[in-house]
Amino acid sequence: MADEELEALRRQRMAELQAKHGNSSNDPQAQQEAQQRETDMRNSILAQVLDQSARARLSNLAMVKPDKAKAVENYLIQMGRMGQLGGKISESGLIEILEKVSQQTDKKTTVKFNRRKVMDSDEDDDD
């Protein structure tokens, strides 16, 4: 009898978790719909935050450097949700944000030469 109750509790908990996480049970159609809703939500927020020229610049950047564009989009969405943006961001404002993001994520490339000492014939002239 305890096993039946335990199994009922497990089924109930599993149903709650699936409902909470959007029923993520390997259903590709449901996952695709969730991804589409997220993309639509991101685009609507960016449409409210950016003017047309800034959106065009951001989409051009997304074609060349998708990871940087995603970081800028996340930054803009976060600022928009917190209410830190006064109005729509123009292209020049987006350029400033891009420069800030570039400075933060700028990777310094260093090249280190490891020179090996080769036996030199001049050192053995002690004979």
The answer to whether residue 97 scores a pLDDT higher than 80 is yes
Closest CA to 103 of 64, 68, 59: 68
Confidence at 5, pLDDT banded by 50, 70, 90: low
58 in any annotated domain = yes
Q: What is the b/e burial string over 21-56, where b = at least 16 CB atoms within 10 angstroms of the residue's CB? A: eeeeeeeeeeeeeeeeeeeeeeeebbeebbeeebbe
Looking at the structure of the chain, the number of domains it has is: 1
11 in any annotated domain = no
35 in any annotated domain = no
What pLDDT was estimated at residue 104? 79
The answer to whether residue 9 scores a pLDDT higher than 90 is no
The answer to whether residue 118 scores a pLDDT higher than 90 is no
The answer to whether residue 74 scores a pLDDT higher than 60 is yes
126 in any annotated domain = no
28 in any annotated domain = no
Collapse the DSSP code of 95 into the 3-class scheme (helix H, G, I; strand E, B; otherwise coil) and give the result: helix
Confidence at 63, pLDDT banded by 50, 70, 90: very high
CA dihedral defined by 91, 61, 101, 37, rounded to 10 degrees? 90
4 in any annotated domain = no
CATH of the domain at 47: 1.10.8.140
Mean pLDDT for the chain overall: 79
Confidence at 121, pLDDT banded by 50, 70, 90: low
Which range marks the domain in which residue 81 is found?
42-104
17 in any annotated domain = no
Residue 58 burial (CB count, 10 A): 20
Rounded mean pLDDT of 83-112?
Answer: 83
Confidence at 119, pLDDT banded by 50, 70, 90: low
Q: What is the DSSP letter of 51?
A: -
Q: Is residue 93 within 8 Å of residue 87, measured between CB atoms?
A: no
What pLDDT was estimated at residue 103? 82
Helices (H) and strands (E) in the chain, counts: 5, 0
20 in any annotated domain = no
